[in-house]
Amino acid sequence: MQLKGVIRFFTIVLSVVCLYQLSFTVAARMVESKAEKFAKAKVGVVPATLSGYERVVVEDSLETEFRKTRKAYLDSIQNETVLNLGIVKYTYKDCADKQINLGLDLKGGMNLVLEISEDDVLKKLAFNSKNPTFNKAIELAVKKQTEKEGDFITLFGEAFNEIDPNAKLAAIFAPLENYHGKINFNSSNDDVLKVLRTDMKAAIGNTFNVLKTRIDQFGVASPNISLQEGAGRIILELPGVDDPSRVRNILSQTAQLEFWDTYENEEVINYLDQANTVLRTHFGVNKEAAAATTDTTVADSAKTETANNDAASILLGDSATTAASTPVADSATKAQADTANKNVNPLFDVLYPSVFQDGQAMRTAEGPVVGRAMGKDTAKVNRLLAMEEVRGLFPRDLRLLWGNKPVSADANVFALFAIKRNPASDEAPLTGDVITDAIQSYDQYGIPEVDITMNSLGASKWEKMTEAAYNGEVNGKPVKKCIAIVLDNRVYSAPRVQAKISGGRSQITGIDNLDEAVDLANVLKSGKLEARTKVVEEQVIGPSLGKEAIQSGLLSLLASFVVVFLFMVAYYSSSGMIANIAMFLNLFLIIGIVASIPGSTFTLPGMAGIVLTLGMAVDANVIINERIREELNRGKGIRLAIEEGYKHSYAAIIDGNLTTMVVGIVLLIFGLGAIKGFAVILVIGLFTSMFTAVFFSRLVYEYIFTKGWHVNFGNKVTMHLFDHFHFDFIHKKKISYAISVVVLTLSLASIVFYGFDLGVDFKGGRSYVVQFDRDVSTVEITDAVEAKVGGVPQVKTYGASNTVDITTAYLIDSKEDNADSLVLAAIYEGVKGIYKTPVDKANFEKTFVKSSVKIGPTIADDIRRGAFWAGLFGILGVFAYIFIRFSKLEFALGATIALMHDPIVVLGIFSACREFMPFSLEINQHIVAAVLTLIGYSVNDTVIVFDRIRENIGLHPTRPLLENSNISINQTLSRSIMTSVTVLLVAIILFIFGGEAIRGFSFALVIGVFMGTYSSIFIATPLMVDIAAWKNKKK
């Protein structure tokens, strides 16, 4: 054997590198195992006497406490040495940073795709131009984004030209100071678009950097953050996150911090009263009824001593910034007003003015809070105040903003603040741009706050602002006024200024807990976002599902290894053991190489990729062993048979692996998230399997020969199992063609007329895996949820009979910030009556919702397009490779038609059987990956036959192609069947042990292996022969 020394050296070096990389994972896992034992001992276990709802709640509570205790333990030893390699030492933190990361589906956590609002960026670049053509073009460009591919600026340029071909963008941007020297009035639209494209790219990059900084400071272990520049999207994978709402809050804030002067309530209350009167006229209420109702309401309110209803008490109580006062009304107030006349006080019926009773007189409360409203009524208040006849009543410098959160934890009531602005400008007197530092701290009462430090310019402005507020006046009287601290158009606090503040320091109060203070400081230090972002895809996986996925993945990996190991030994004897050694090395190299790739993670599809690669790695050994058997049957000696066997197997192994690699590369390009992880494993596995099967196993044989050991390639039963088998495949092609036509017709008919059960990633929507404290039926859950979500949800059993997957498109097109919360609340309202033990909403979301997925319409469109292009390029890539490799069109066409045959049948089975199978057959990204993988596998099987045909044509050029082809199929039949058996064993094990998440994926592989073997023998070669005959007739 040539290059033995090089192969030996390369094997040793590669193994040492993999050992080095894996040592970090081993060391980190050992420490984490100790942390888990410590946490379990401290937290305890669930009492065996508990069951049902109580057990689930206690389990969740203990799990939360376990994670906190485990984290505290690991934090305490971060800087301790845990790996000593002699010349260098590594701490636990070093090892944790270098260890193999587990993906969300194995560890639990959160995956998000944020879409940057490029229309919002463009408006800001134009300083919110009022040009009608410009704004219409933006609206049209947003619509075009959902219909075609392309960057937003290009689509905007097309839309602008469609609306008014003669309009000039230079007229909008040239006068702006930011574009002096870049754009002039003579610049063409293309020149302007070029500049805007550069600025858009910079804004997106800045947004990405800000969000990356926020996540890095959030403390997530091994976050993965990437930017899709062309699509304007940011992808975040946050393993181990157990508080999704906190993450959403951090990412959604644009961090536009502003400091505003304020009005006092007494300066605004009369304007509100006038607005109420105007609205009363607008709604047609007669004055006498209004007066009578108002008198009755006030009189009855004065008699009320206490407020039994918390919300009503807060609504009509004093503001957060005033001294204590006595509430003047209870929950009867609103009811009495409603009873008298629904629209007597259109505004004050939903916005309760800040007034209180002082003896017999009604007085306005001090401070900038002018009223309060229930959370559900804030939108109505906004609409009323935005009416044209109302807006004109208020001063031009008055701006009304809602508080950041409810004024009390007991009721969903928000305060409305009166902000004083400069009528000539929308900019705040002082913004967050001047902040140099923000740290979490505590006030004198131990309540969390955020201390902020400003630069010299900010300090000067802040000093002037606070001095003016301290010396303020209202109606000629001196009043120390308040300054509102506003974040993203929500008032965090409005402290009253007690003195001029120098030095550029201030505090943000009104914070509920430590986490909020830490997050706010983080957001402010990171800086403001250049553009708004919205979540277009979200997946939350609970830790319990992650544990189940790990167990399923490891079990399927172990079972596959054991079954394939035993099969190879049983069928090939000692040569099967050599193949097993190569398989073990292949597994070791795959894991080691993945560990060496920075930022790489193991996902459940990735583990499935390893399992599948084991089967494909054995395939290469099967091809070699079967060829060696042939050489032995021809009477050659063992050493010569091995040499000839390897030499004649190279082409089939390389061709088969490279055609599969084409599919892997397509998946890498078009796949997202976990599917890309599967593709990485597949491509790495193909390289390592070729190395271990072709080079390493040959090295083992050389070593055996030097030791004088004997090698067997089978036993009495298996050695000559296929020797006397001969079947006329080509002449029976009409039967196989007829079978295929019938099966294809039925498959296509089902696909066209019956359709697919499309997963949420293809059609958009939200999907929730929900657990119950008893067994439930899908019909029961569907009926319960349907009335709440305004349509029929898709409900499927998810593993156990007490767990279901609920998918709905309810509010998926909504742009409201709280749409996610509304959908989950609707599902809770639907299913809460199904639990044996009552479950409150908070506990439902935390404990019983095991995972959730959200796919927005634009993402779903992209996934569908990506799946289409992946399939098309996968097939074209295989066609091109076979055409180049075999240099004949008939080989490429025969293989391509046969491999198209296989996925159509698989998809047809998924369509026809989706209502009858006890597991989900929905079409999602995993199934696309499976279909592409079986395309690679199918052509791999076909290539084995084609390589033998090419060899026989070279050996017997005068023999007819039909005869050469028939002989070749029979000669390679044992290889075709044995390679199929090994992969089929692996696919079946994946199906049984791989878990619910990849059951559809593994089922597609099982069907695909059958179809791939059938098509490579009965379809591809006969088609190739027929096409060649047709070509000869045309000559």
Residues 251-273, mean pLDDT to the nearest whole number: 85
For the ranges 287-296, 795-804, 882-891, the one whose mean pLDDT is highest: 882-891
Mean pLDDT of the chain: 80
Q: What are phi and psi of 84, to 5 degrees?
A: -115, 110
Q: 239 with 271, same domain?
A: no
Q: What's the DSSP call for residue 482?
A: B
Report the pLDDT value the prediction gives residue 391, as an integer from 0 to 100: 86
Report the pLDDT value the prediction gives residue 309, as an integer from 0 to 100: 37
The token duo for 98 is 């270098």
Neighbours of 202 (CB within 10 A): 12
- Write a three-state SS string for 50-104: CCHHHHHHHHHHHHHHHHHHHHHHHHHCCCCEEEECCCCEEEHHHHHHHCCEECH
Report the pLDDT value the prediction gives residue 300, as an integer from 0 to 100: 37
Domain span including residue 486:
257-528
The rounded distance, in Å, linking the Cα atoms of 238 and 108 is 9
Residue 563 in this model has a pLDDT that exceeds 60: yes
Give the confidence band of 909 by pLDDT, cuts at 50, 70, 90.
Answer: very high
Q: 313 with 412, same domain?
A: yes
The token duo for 129 is 């131009």
Encode pLDDT of 612-624 as tens digits. Answer: 677 777 778 888 8
Partners of 420 in the β-ladder: 261, 398
Residues 566-581, mean pLDDT to the nearest whole number: 88
Q: What's the DSSP call for residue 365?
A: P
Residues 552-565, mean pLDDT to the nearest whole number: 79
Q: 164 with 92, same domain?
A: no
Instruction: Give the distance from CA 157 to its chain's centroid.
Output: 31
Q: Which residue has the tokens 């008939």?
A: 890
* Confidence (pTM): 0.64
17 Rama class: left (phi>0) / alpha (psi -120 to 50) / beta:
alpha
Neighbours of 791 (CB within 10 A): 12
Q: 426 with 324, same domain?
A: yes
Burial of 1026 per CB tally in 10 Å (0-12, 13-18, 19+)? middle
The rounded distance, in Å, linking the Cα atoms of 614 and 583 is 7
Q: Cβ distance 910 to 927 under 8 Å?
A: yes
Residue 700 in this model has a pLDDT that exceeds 70: yes
Please compute Rg for the chain using Cα positions. Answer: 35
Q: Which residue from 464, 467, 966, 1019 is spatially nearest to 730, judged by alpha carbons? A: 966
Q: 798 with 867, same domain?
A: no
Query: 3-class SS at 753?
Result: helix
How many structural domains compose the chain?
A: 5
Q: 671 with 551, same domain?
A: yes
Instruction: Give the distance from CA 2 to its chain's centroid.
Output: 49
Select from 68, 99, 130 the last residue of a domain. 99
Select from 212, 244, 276 the last residue of a domain. 244
787: domain CATH number?
A: 3.30.70.3400
Query: 3-class SS at 398?
Result: strand
Q: Cβ distance 808 to 794 under 8 Å?
A: yes
Q: Which residue has the tokens 């002018």?
A: 370
Q: Cβ distance 219 to 491 under 8 Å?
A: no
570-577 LR contacts (CB < 8 Å, sep 24+): 570/718, 571/714, 571/718, 571/978, 572/625, 572/712, 572/713, 572/714, 572/718, 573/712, 573/713, 573/714, 573/715, 574/710, 574/711, 574/712, 575/625, 575/628, 575/711, 575/712, 575/713, 575/714, 576/625
Number of H helices, E strands in the chain: 36, 27
Q: Which residue from 832, 818, 820 is spatially nearest to 768, judged by alpha carbons? A: 820
Residue 419 in this model has a pLDDT that exceeds 90: yes
354: domain CATH number?
A: 3.30.1360.200
Q: Give the max Cα distance, the chain.
A: 119
Q: How many CA atoms lie within 13 A of 365 on its CB side?
A: 29
Q: Looking at the domain assignment, is residue 760 inside a domain? A: no
pLDDT greater at residue 605 or residue 430: 430
Q: 940 with 981, same domain?
A: yes
Q: 736 with 781, same domain?
A: no
- Got the DSSP string for 97-164? HHSPEE-HHHH-EEEEEEEE-HHHHHHHHTTS---HHHHHHHHHHHHHHTTS-S-HHHHHHHHHHHH-
900: domain CATH number?
A: 1.20.1640.10
Report the pLDDT value the prediction gives residue 394, as an integer from 0 to 100: 92
The rounded distance, in Å, linking the Cα atoms of 422 and 1034 is 85
Q: 738 with 877, same domain?
A: yes
Helix (H) or strand (E) holding 237: strand 233-239
Q: What's the DSSP call for residue 408?
A: B
Residues 277-295, mean pLDDT to the nearest whole number: 63
Encode pLDDT of 301-323 as tens digits. Answer: 333 333 333 333 444 443 333 32
Partners of 854 in the β-ladder: 538, 766
Q: Looking at the domain assignment, is residue 536 inside a domain? A: no
β-strand pairing of 369-374 with 413-420: antiparallel
Query: 3-class SS at 865?
Result: helix
Encode pLDDT of 812-858 as tens digits. Answer: 777 776 777 888 888 888 888 888 888 888 788 877 888 787 777 66
For the ranges 146-155, 731-740, 801-810, the one whose mean pLDDT is highest: 731-740
Encode pLDDT of 604-614 as tens digits. Answer: 677 767 766 77
Q: Looking at the domain assignment, is residue 104 inside a domain? A: no
Q: Cβ distance 788 to 828 under 8 Å?
A: no
Q: Looking at the domain assignment, is residue 250 inside a domain? A: no
Select from 209, 244, 279 the last residue of a domain. 244
Partners of 534 in the β-ladder: 115
Encode pLDDT of 640-696 as tens digits. Answer: 988 888 888 888 888 878 888 887 888 788 766 566 777 888 888 888 888 888 888
User: Which residues, 6 or more positions from 486, have their beta carbon under 8 angstroms from its beta carbon?
Assistant: 257, 258, 259, 260, 401, 419, 428, 492
Q: Cβ distance 890 to 1022 under 8 Å?
A: no
Q: What's the DSSP call for residue 896?
A: H
Q: Looking at the domain assignment, is residue 46 inside a domain? A: yes
pLDDT > 90 fraction of the chain, expressed in percent and rounded = 9
β-strand pairing of 369-374 with 81-84: unpaired
Q: Looking at the domain assignment, is residue 249 inside a domain? A: no
Neighbours of 267 (CB within 10 A): 19
Q: Cβ distance 185 to 171 under 8 Å?
A: yes
Residue 741 in this model has a pLDDT that exceeds 90: yes
pLDDT greater at residue 1034 or residue 266: 266
Q: Which residue from 534, 517, 314 is spatially nearest to 407, judged by alpha carbons? A: 314
Partners of 411 in the β-ladder: 408
For the ranges 247-256, 577-586, 677-686, 839-848, the one whose mean pLDDT is highest: 577-586
**220-229, 276-285, 760-769, 1022-1031, range with the lowest pLDDT:** 220-229
Residues 586-602, mean pLDDT to the nearest whole number: 81
Encode pLDDT of 471-525 as tens digits. Answer: 988 888 898 999 898 887 888 888 888 888 888 888 777 676 777 777 777 766 6
Partners of 419 in the β-ladder: 262, 399
The token duo for 183 is 């754009």
Neighbours of 440 (CB within 10 A): 18
Q: 606 with 718, same domain?
A: yes
**550-564, 775-789, 901-915, range with the lowest pLDDT:** 550-564
Query: 3-class SS at 227?
Result: strand
Q: 355 with 225, same domain?
A: no
Encode pLDDT of 1024-1033 as tens digits. Answer: 988 888 888 8
Q: Which residue has the tokens 């590369």?
A: 665
The rounded distance, in Å, linking the Cα atoms of 995 and 647 is 41
pLDDT greater at residue 133 or residue 981: 133
Q: 457 with 405, same domain?
A: yes
- Helices 857-886 and 889-912: crossing angle in degrees, nearest 10, is 150
Q: Looking at the domain assignment, is residue 971 inside a domain? A: yes
Q: Looking at the domain assignment, is residue 110 inside a domain? A: no
Residues 10-36, mean pLDDT to the nearest whole number: 88
Residue 571 in this model has a pLDDT that exceeds 70: yes
